[in-house]
Amino acid sequence: MKNKTVLITGANSGIGYITALEIAKLGAKIVMVCRNKDKAETARQEIINKSNNTNISVKICNLSSQAAIKELAQEIKNEIPVIDVLVNNAGVMLSERQESIDGIEMTWAVNHLAYFLLTNLLIDSLKAAPSARIVNVASQVQQIGDIYWTDVNLRNGYSGLKAYSQSKLANIMFSNELARRLAGTNITSNALHPGAVATNFGNNSTGFIAWAFKWFAWSLRSPEKGAQTSLWLASSKDVEGKTGLYFNDKKSIKAKAIAYHAEALQRLWAMSEEMTGIKTLI
C-alpha cells in the first residue's frame, strides 16, 4: 500500500479506526474523514504513534449535510488528485426519528446518501488511480430490510431498526449498481458485512436498540475482528479485479434478492440523484 492514498469515513473510532490504523501500517497515505475535530485529532495521533506513519491527515465533515459533503469533496479534489481506495464506513443508528439539515431522515442521509454523494463527487480522483477500489460497509441486517420507495424518509411507522436495515440494503444495492456502471474501468466496487461489532455505535440510541447493545455485548466481535474484511477488500491482492460482490469474513455471500434486480438498482440510483440534486456522470 506504499504510495497509495486511502480515504476512510468515520475513521476516528470502531472499525473505521482499525481499518485506518492497519492500512497506515502498510505504508499508505490515510485521509480520515470525521465529524468531531478533537476526537479525530486524538485518533490521528494514536495512528501515527502505533504505525510510525506520519502521512495521516484529517478532514472534518458532517456527513448528514449535503453542502458539507460537496465542500469536502471539492477540498479533497483540490488537494488530493488521486485516490486509490475509498472506504465508505461512517454510519448511524438512531432510536428516535431525526431529520438532517436537508430535511432527510438522518439514517438515510448518513448511511446511504452520504455514500452515494461522496463517491460520485470523488469519482474522477478514483479514475485517476492506476487501479482503484471502493469499499462499502453494509450489514447483514439488510436481510430484514426493504426500500420504502414511497416513504424512504420513514415519516410513517419509523423505527430505528427499520431505518437502519433499509439503509444497509441500500448500501449493497448502490455498491452493485456502481460496479455495473464502472464495468471496464479501473475501479472496483464491493460491499461487506463487518459482523456484529462491539463499538460505541449504539451510544446514540435509546430504548430497545440501546438495550440490545448492552445485553448482547458479550457476543459481539472486537473492532479488530470486525475491520478484517474492510482491510482485506482495501488492500489484498486476493480481490484485485473483483467487483459487484458482497462479503462476510472475506467470503463472497448473497445479499437479499432485490440487490440484484436491475430495475430496482436503477430506480434507487435515480432516486438518490434526485435526493442529492446531482446528475451523475457514471
Residues annotated as catalytic (active site), given as ranges:
164
Instruction: Say how many residues make up the chain.
Output: 282
Give the Cβ contact number of residue 186 at 10 Å. Answer: 14
Contacts (Cβ under 8 Å, ≥6 apart) of 14 = 197, 199, 200, 201, 223, 226
Strand ranges in 44-121 using DSSP code E only, listed in sequence order: 56-60, 85-88
- Identify the CA nearest to 182 among candidates 123, 263, 114: 123
Gap between the Cα atoms of 238 and 241, Å rounded: 9
Residue 277 contacts residue 104 (beta carbons within 8 Å):
no
